[in-house]
A and B are shown apart, each in its own frame.
Chain A
């Protein structure tokens, strides 16, 4: 069974830092690009960051660029999101999510749609 389990959320003051973790099981982690997506209370979905299979390619949303660092440890089946200089508007549920993988004729392709999601971890930024 595929599982993604986030942790590390909590209450932090403006300007503070948090490190989110997402530990996965049930699939070959190193075969997949991994992503973080957030959702502010009562709002829609916002992509935050992505990291390729080996960590070579990394992308950040402009809203958090310069304040976050995504990383992964393929030996530990985990992806991380270090968040610094947090603001009130960063309050959200943060989900980790896996890229869709298509396989045909021995060839695999990753799509930047997300087929497996964790349950999310809540980050609250408030004084």
Chain B
């Protein structure tokens, strides 16, 4: 099983600032990496797939990068609605797909 490790666990950021979240895979997942945003009481929302492709309707302030084992999600200028928990997920290995433990982005 591929283990996904996210850092930091919590990120405190002021509105308007840039946030960079990290995700590391225990072995290469090529570019088969997705990012999700989840707000309290809601289902996850797909932000990025293929490591860097924004899903439909996702604002351009969200960008993904990396390949192999190291990935980043960058939010260029945090808006109030962006404070949430973010998860990465690898889908290079179908059985099983695995998620990271999450990064909580909170207001500083």
Residues of chain A having any CB pair with chain B under 8 Å: 37, 44-47, 50, 59, 61-62, 95, 100, 111-115, 117-120
Asked if residues A113 and B43 are in contact (CB atoms below 8 Å), the reply is no
Residue B49 lies at the interface, judged by CB distance under 8 Å to chain A: yes
Asked if residues B99 and A117 are in contact (CB atoms below 8 Å), the reply is no
Residues of chain B having any CB pair with chain A under 8 Å: 1, 32, 34, 36, 38, 43-46, 49-50, 55-56, 87, 89, 91, 94-102
Asked if residues B46 and A100 are in contact (CB atoms below 8 Å), the reply is yes
Q: Pick the most buried of B32, B94, B96: most chain A CB atoms within 10 A of its CB.
A: B96
- Of all chain B residues, which has the CB nearest A59? B95
Asked if residues B99 and A47 are in contact (CB atoms below 8 Å), the reply is yes
Residues of A within 8 A of B95 (CB): 59
Assess A111 versus B49: contact at CB under 8 Å? Given A45-B99, A59-B96: yes
User: For the complex, would chain A's binding face be called helix, strand, loop or mixed by DSSP majority?
Assistant: strand
A68 CA to B94 CA in the complex, in Å?
Answer: 18
Residues of B within 8 A of A112 (CB): 32, 91, 94, 97
Whole-angstrom distance from the CB of B44 to the nearest CB of chain A?
A: 6
Q: Pick the most buried of A46, A113, A114, A118: most chain B CB atoms within 10 A of its CB.
A: A113
- Of all chain A residues, which has the CB nearest B94? A112
CB-defined A-B contacts under 8 Å, sample of 30: A37-B44, A45-B36, A45-B44, A45-B87, A45-B89, A45-B99, A46-B99, A47-B96, A47-B98, A47-B99, A50-B94, A50-B97, A59-B95, A59-B96, A62-B1, A100-B46, A100-B55, A111-B32, A112-B32, A112-B97, A113-B34, A113-B46, A113-B49, A114-B34, A114-B44, A115-B46, A115-B55, A115-B56, A117-B45, A119-B43
Asked if residues B100 and A44 are in contact (CB atoms below 8 Å), the reply is yes
